[in-house]
Amino acid sequence: MREIKMRGYSVERLCADSQWVEGFGVMTTEYADGKKDYTMFTDFGNYQVYGKSVGEFTGLKDKNGTPIYEGDIVAHNDDSPNCKVVFEDGCFIIKELSQSNNEWYLYTEAELVKIVGNIYEGESQ
Over the stretch 14-35, which tens digit does the pLDDT of each residue have?
A: 776 788 999 999 999 999 999 9
| Rounded Cα distance, 125 and 115, in Å | 10
**Single-letter residue type at 121:** E
Q: Over the stretch 99-123, which tens digit does the pLDDT of each residue have? A: 788 899 999 999 999 999 999 886 6
At residue 62, the 3 state secondary structure works out as coil
| Rounded Cα distance, 104 and 43, in Å | 34
Count of positions (residues) in the chain? 125
For the chain, domain boundaries: 6-53, 57-123
Does pTM top 0.85 for this prediction? Answer: yes
| Assigned architecture for domain 57-123 | Roll (2.30)
Q: Taking Cα atoms as reference points, which of 1, 27, 113 lies closest to residue 66?
A: 113
